[in-house]
A = this chain, B = another copy of it.
Amino acid sequence: MTSDRRLPAYQRLRDEMARRIAEGEWGPDAALPSENRLSAEHALSVGTVRKAIQQLVDEGLLERRQGSGTYLRKPAFDATLFRFFQIREHGAATSIPTSRLISRTRTHAPAHVCETLGTDDVILIHRLRCLSEQPLLCEEIYIPAARFEGFDTIPETEIGPLLYPVYFERYGIFVARAEDEVHFGTADARTASHLGTKEGHPIAMIERTAFDMAGTAIEWRLACGRADRFRYRSRIG
């Protein structure tokens, strides 16, 4: 079953394409079928096909390049955590954030994580993220063990600075969207020592829940950073 027959044609086509993207039918870096191809296959006019594709572009799933084709777009979610923090470079070009794995443990999730992920059988990842050698974010990441079998034993050398590409390449799990929630609190002893501040000092906490294409929560993480480095911009209207 694709989707409701009462829906407009462009909606049904959008839903079908979203499903095929989720199933990995078109790998990243490869062009999708052209507008003409799709309109012929689905017996729809090109204009209708364009509307379906444009919707997926607006949702951030696809990317169009004139003269070339329509491509999958891989969002850079990991970078978005850093958007919450001041980057103070001294004239030099912006450096690449690095990651250091502190630990990976198969464990039981706390209640609120269990509720989000739908299981308490999880892998807990501790990680420290730095920019220009300076520790910026201290992360606790929970992923369901059932869908990430063996993640705690992958050689560290095979895990780059970003996790989401690893999720995709090793487990076929594509992070489609995420929800961030920011609030403030004080540092516990361990977080404080990682971030180079003192216990009880103010820190910013970003809670993130990440979802796959089907809308299932596949990761919960808590990222902590020093409040005095925090800065966030947003545009309205």
Contacts and interface: CB of A to CB of B under 8 A. Distances in A.
A182 B236 contact: no
Contacts of A177: 235-237
Contacts of A60: 237
A228 B183 CA distance: 8
Interface residues of A, number: 27
Contacts of A80: 236
A3 to B, nearest CB: 20
A90 to B, nearest CB: 20
A179 interface: yes
A180 interface: yes
A131 interface: no
A112 B234 CA distance: 19
A236 B179 contact: yes
A236 B77 contact: yes
Nearest to A59: B237
Given A178-B236, A184-B184, 16 more contacts: A60-B237, A75-B237, A80-B236, A178-B237, A180-B233, A180-B234, A181-B233, A182-B232, A182-B234, A183-B230, A184-B204, A184-B228, A202-B202, A227-B227, A232-B232, A234-B234
Interface of A: 59-60, 75, 77, 80, 175-184, 202, 204, 227-228, 230-237
5 contacts: A77-B237, A181-B231, A181-B232, A181-B233, A184-B227
6 smallest beta-carbon distances between A and B, as pairs: A177-B237, A182-B232, A184-B227, A183-B231, A180-B234, A178-B236
